[in-house]
Amino acid sequence: MESLKKFCETIVSVFSTDYLRSPNTNDITRLLAAAEQRGLPGMLGSIDCMHWKWKNCPVAWKGMYSVHIREPTIILEAVVSYDLWIWHAFFGMPGSHNDINVLERSFIFTKLAQGRAPPVNYTVNGHDYTMGYYLADGIYPKWRTFVKTIPTPKGNKNKHFAKAQEYTRKDVERAFGVLQQRFAIIQGPSLLFKVKDMTNIMKACVTLYNMIIEDERDNVDNLDMEYDQLEDLPELSRNHTTNIMDFFQGHLHIRDNSAHHQLQEDLIEHQWLLSSQQ
């Protein structure tokens, strides 16, 4: 057990900088190109949560960590791209929380709100957008950074879009399945006693998982592109500071409800146009 803990700590400390990072400019260029081919311009991936059962959860904490199945769990929030690479992994929230509670506490949009995220520019149905989005299920809020399905679609346009969104969003569910299949330690209930140790194990598994994805990328990536030889554009300084009002404004910009509906309408029209050309 001690060897396992030391191994996971070492994997995270040595490799997490490269394999648990957010997309850089070159990565976003590749992700946008793949999204364009799939008929969803501006998509950066799919987001969802996975529960890891905690068998040895302390009795005093079981109420806080238990969900509807009455078993303690800890939640992993992840963003997955078309090649099943995990770009964002936020782990540690008690299982009693839902996806919205986890989202409110995760760091997924911190750089975006601070103005430090790489630019994302695309056009859909004649409208220009400067913020990428993730495919999400119905529980997620109506923000401009999420595109959700239509629960009860009416008309051929809406039905076609709902089918395309739900099919593409399966990327994140597939990634969770592959992650658990490759690492049996997170497929079954955890026998550890500390959340910190479980966090290191989960991060180590995601890091190793991304290593495997990188090794197999030549077989998965069907795009006729090569970005490994491109140099990354210089990132903003770590000492970059954001005015508190700009930070609040950035969050309000992300949570724009009207922009969410406009983007969805534009994607519905775009999808329908593509289907009519086939």
Q: What residue spans define the domains of the chain?
A: 2-220+243-277
Distance separating alpha carbons of residues 88 and 210, to the nearest angstrom? 11
- pLDDT score at 167: 94
What is the percent of the chain where pLDDT is above 70?
90
**Helix (H) or strand (E) segment spanning residue 161:** helix 156-182
Report, as an integer, the average pLDDT of 235-252: 63
Are 42 and 262 a contacting pair, CB within 8 Å?
A: no
At 204, list the tokens.
């180590």
pLDDT of 175 over the 70 cut: yes
Model confidence band, residue 250 (pLDDT cutoffs 50, 70, 90): confident
- pLDDT score at 237: 41
* Contacts for 137 with CB less than 8 Å, ≥ 6 apart: 48, 99, 148, 149, 169
More confident of the two residues 230 and 126: 126
At 147, list the tokens.
């595109």
Q: How far is CA 244 from the centre of its chain?
A: 26
How do strand 133-136 and strand 127-129 relate by DSSP bridges? unpaired
pLDDT of 60 over the 70 cut: yes
- pLDDT score at 276: 83
- pLDDT score at 128: 94
pLDDT of 227 over the 80 cut: no
- pLDDT score at 228: 40
Report, as an integer, the average pLDDT of 209-222: 76
Q: Which of 171, 25, 157, 153 is nearest to 86 (CA)?
A: 171
pLDDT of 67 over the 90 cut: no
Give the CA dihedral 91, 92, 95, 99, nearest 10 degrees. -50
